[in-house]
A and B are shown apart, each in its own frame.
Chain A
Amino acid sequence: MNRSKQTLAKTTAAAVMLAFIGNASAQFSPQTELHLDAATRNTLGDADLMNNIRYYFCGYTDNPGFVNIVRSWNTIKIPLTQIAGDTWYLGSKYVGQYILRSPTGFVLVDSLNNTAEARDLTIPALQSLGLSASLPLQGVYLTHGHGDHDGGANYLRQTLNPPIYLGSGDANNKAYNPIRIDSTNLAPQPITIGGRTLTLIPTPGHTPGTMAAVIPVQDNGREVNLLVTGGSNMGGLSTVYPYLDSLERTYALAKAMNVEGGMHPHQFFEGTLQKILDSGLSTPSQYVVGNDKYMRGLAVWRECTAAFASNLDATAALPVWRASKTEFIAASPAPNRLAARVFNGWGPVAGQQVSFTLEGRGTACTATTDENGVATCKSSLGPLKGKDDLVTATFAGAEGSGYVDLGSKVTALANNGCADLAAIRAAMGARAGDANYASRLDVDQNGVIDGRDLSSVTRDIQPGFCK
């Protein structure tokens, strides 16, 4: 199927799914609605998160018909497609594998549907990338033991004989004799294959042996951590709770390891691959979305899972996860002023502490957010050095009755505010949603960049300082 037909298929699918959503609303319990709504709010209006993660993962609850459509995508083959400096996707629009190349050989994430695909797709792809005695297949990491992920493993075992890693919960009766990763040890388990260290984390739920992994890849001259998540559908009562717990642990790992993007074997859940198919690989890669956005996507997924659990179990009492965003407001961080705003899909996060730290120097100051979610303070370490001091504003997160406010942070070089002043002048009249609108420049958060924002920032800058 060519690209225009694929686009048409997706558009048609979207129309069908919207119809489902239209019919599905109001049939859920208040608790389920609460989590579905939270998933939407956690996108903060980001179209990628809304149209992919929110759409599909919450679709298991509010639009189950989507599964019939995406399953048909198994016949739409995706050729070998580079997604980062050393990483490729191969398979179909429905499910695929990732190929990682290093100076010493290859690592595969998943093995496609069956022997025929491993023989006719994987092996030629590896050969085209240089598979040889000196550049061998050094290992295969399987996200879980379902056939659309491990169907080609036995062929790979018979032809190239790499070590094949699988969670022990799925490993019984597998002809390819996998190396078992202990599924009962829920702590992260690093394994090194061909010099590349994958941080595996058992995530039981979709299957007992499902494993996620943080994988370092090369992109735009630097190493970036991407997260491979395994299963997607959530099953029944006995599996959705482990699934939810696994997702929460995955969130913690992704935060701790500064994961900047995802590589789901069912790529449509993230929707990143389509961007590369549409317009080519960018620099940096479209897969590198940044930790802030990736974490928000996981929070969306978590809320979709909580909605699914609440739908299946009316007695579920799961707190709502609210993903926050922290941003420096205009003319900050400046030599004499540190100011950041914390907000989420529900509005400003008020009454919470924000700490400002200077790289290599320590905490400059801590302040509490006001009713607008803005925390402001002056550095106790003396005036910041413009373009030298790297400042991080951190909201650590908080818990309330029935909800968890997830932490967030932002990092920027100290500046004198003149660039922001110029940006406000250039964006005068821009409204939320316009391309030249930036939330951080909208000091009073009235949805438009106007004279009041200009006056506010002007007051914060030394008179005559900016030419």
Chain B
Amino acid sequence: MFEVRTWRGRLVLQVVVTVMAIPFLFPLIVMIKGSLAGQGWRNFTAVLGVPGLAQFFINSAIIATGATVLVYVVAMMAAYGFAKLHVAFREVYFWLLLACLTLPEVVLLAPLFTTAIRLGIYDTYWAVILPLAALQVPFAVLLTRNFLNGLPNEVFDAARVDGASSLRGFLYLVIPLTRPIAAAVIIFTLIGAWNDYLMPLVFLQSPQMQTITLVPQFFVGEFSNDQTKILASAVITAIPEVVAYLCLQRLFERGLSAGAIK
């Protein structure tokens, strides 16, 4: 793309990129510096000493895993049905799903609330997992169907002619062949579920059910607005996400671009 031949030009580019990157780095520096202000490392030990902190992580992990497994299974199946099997009025069903793509979760608040109470799942993991998964499925189906459409029909026809049932076709063809796009689906759903704030805020009441996105608010109460400890709690909750990203960097970037680029 850009071509710079002189060292002076290279230096200019380097400076430009650095200046552009500073605003992105600044809040992270503020976060870390703030968390070490006052009592220094003791802010962290104070936060880690709060009973039940681990439970926040466990709850988030259960919800994120539950939603991701549900979205993965349901979306893979649907994409297989849409792309490679016979469905009457296929496009009608597909658009029915796609219309849900644009839906803001806040719209679901009032009806979901009454439904959750009626079904007796209010303040359980299901009250968060089900709506989160429901909102993520349309995008996952869109991605996976596009991907499966790109695979040759011959493979699936050959399996069928050999007498493979659609279940075998799913287990031995769809699951292994969709691995690249599955990475995208799983990562999108994981980030979405792990970072979600509104659903846990509304549907989880008891303290032992709270997720990590509710941690900062919990600590506002716990430490009566001691900023440094609140920032320390933010650092602690951010660490797993940053580590996960750094370890799976390739996967994140490839997954993201798989969604938008053919």
B is bound to A: no
Give the interface of B toward A (CB within 8 A). Answer: none
